[in-house]
Amino acid sequence: MVRSFDATPVDQDWLDERCADALWSPTAGNSAGVRMYTLGRELMGEFFQVSTDERWRASSRRAPGLARAGGAVLVTSRPGDYLERYAQGDKARSGLEEPSAWPVPYWHADAAMATMALLLLLEEGGWQATIWGNFRNDAAVLAWARIDDEELFATVLLGHGDGQDAASPSLGRDVPSRSARVRRVRG
């Protein structure tokens, strides 16, 4: 993940195509309840005004670099599409027609899979990216983007790194290696 960009604008037609490709990822019951909304470089200032607050912009060491992203993708999910799909005849026996019945809300799982596919496609295309977590201001971002009946999952910021990225303190945490987190089930 890169958190400091050089303001090179992304070609929005190219980005739209990568998003469509990323949406080949699986969706529960073929619900197709994930959407992607692309933003060009010219909207990044407005996006950061809506998605952050003055205190964060003034105090975050990463704010200036993130604000120079060359574009962004808002990834949303439509829980209603999943509830409607799982109320249909071939899925009705699942008992998943209510949000509380889902032990794992697959609208989030599907959005995560599509986001990962997008990140891989961006990397393959020579761009760098980061996930802008949906921790606050989601309603304001959705209203600003004129998106109704959807939940904001995350935003993918993309561009070319400027070499000024400050390493995350999280990288210094002592965690199990990747191979140590792979286990075999034995019969």
pLDDT attached to residue 92: 87
Asked, for residue 166, whether it belongs to a domain, the answer is yes
The segments of the chain whose pLDDT lies below 70 read none
Asked, for residue 186, whether it belongs to a domain, the answer is no
pLDDT attached to residue 133: 84
Count the Cβ atoms, other than its own, within 10 Å of residue 100: 7
pLDDT attached to residue 167: 80
Range of the domain at 129: 12-181
Asked, for residue 4, whether it belongs to a domain, the answer is no
State the total domains in the chain: 1
pLDDT attached to residue 52: 93
Asked, for residue 3, whether it belongs to a domain, the answer is no
Asked if residues 69 and 39 have their Cβ atoms less than 8 Å apart, the reply is: no
**One-letter amino acid of 172:** G
**CATH classification of the domain holding 50:** 3.40.109.10
For the CA atoms of the chain, what is the radius of gyration?
18
Asked, for residue 5, whether it belongs to a domain, the answer is no
For the segment 37-88, what is each residue's pLDDT rounded down to a tens digit?
999 999 999 999 999 999 999 999 899 999 999 999 999 999 999 999 999 9
Asked, for residue 165, whether it belongs to a domain, the answer is yes
